[in-house]
Amino acid sequence: MSNRPHAPPPHIIGLDGREVDLLHWMYSRPDIKQIRGNPEKVIAAIDEYHDKHNKLMNIGDVKGPTMLDIIAQRKPSLMIELGGYVGYSALLFGNALKAHGGKLLSIEVNPEMAAVANQLVELAGLREHVQIMVGASNEVLEELVREKKQIKEIELIFLDHWQKLYLPDLWLLEELGVLVPGKTMLVADNVIMPGAPDYLEWVKATPEEKKKLLEKADVGGRRPKPELIYETIVPEFDTDFGKDGLAITKVL
């Protein structure tokens, strides 16, 4: 039997140990004392690890600035992230949210990744502005909205977990009634590469087009709200992994 009987299935992430290696590398740096408590330095060190050692699935320094502009403009009191990985985007967003006293709730299904992210959040001194929750996005969202009633409306949400889950999770948010016209913004990463065609089709469609799509769609028990009106733009970027885009959607 494997000595890791509880390890996650490989589709969640190709676990080859690089994320834990990042922590060892970070804490063995001679400048660790100067890095501690400084989010920009922790982020720069993760960029250095990505450039010189192993590639990480971080939002990176090409798409990151667009998210920082959105946070600076909208100043959400609570931002949600689906898919935290090692916490790179959580550090970037948490640091930006700190400027106006906002918070980030980052949902990560893999406890190993969440542990790495938590440690880096601690190192950066962003504990008060970033909370990492372990669990599957749909389960955590349902719990926070239905059971704990902790979230009543979504100001800004960043979808960066698994492209196949973007649309079912958007349908869940529609069903939960937390998408508020004139208030909510959704940003989905990697919509060109690897791509999220069904999600893009939905957020670009009119209510009439969405009703037609639903005639053929398998909604898997969800109750989408096709009457919501979305406005979506997809800026494109040249990243380390090729051309990619962010789908930025306003609920009108």
Give the footprint of ligand SAM on this chain (CB under 6 A).
Answer: 12-13, 57-59, 82-85, 88-89, 107-110, 113, 136-137, 160-162, 165
- Residue closer to ligand SAM (CB basis): 132 or 203: 132
- Residue closer to ligand SAM (CB basis): 148 or 216: 148
CA 15 centroid distance within chain: 19
Beta-bridge partners for 185: 156, 250
- Residue closer to ligand SAM (CB basis): 108 or 174: 108
CB distance 171 to 217 below 8 Å: no
* C-alpha count within 13 angstroms, C-beta hemisphere, residue 70: 24
- In sequence order, which residues have a C-beta less than 8 Å from that of residue 71 and are 6 or more positions away? 79, 93, 96, 97, 102, 156
Residue sitting closest to ligand SAM (CB): 83
User: Shortest distance, CB of residue 55 to ligand SAM, whole angstroms?
Assistant: 12
Rounded CA-CA distance 191/196 in Å is 5
- Residue closer to ligand SAM (CB basis): 20 or 205: 20
- Residue closer to ligand SAM (CB basis): 60 or 224: 60
* C-alpha count within 13 angstroms, C-beta hemisphere, residue 8: 17
Strand-pair category, 242-245 with 130-134: unpaired
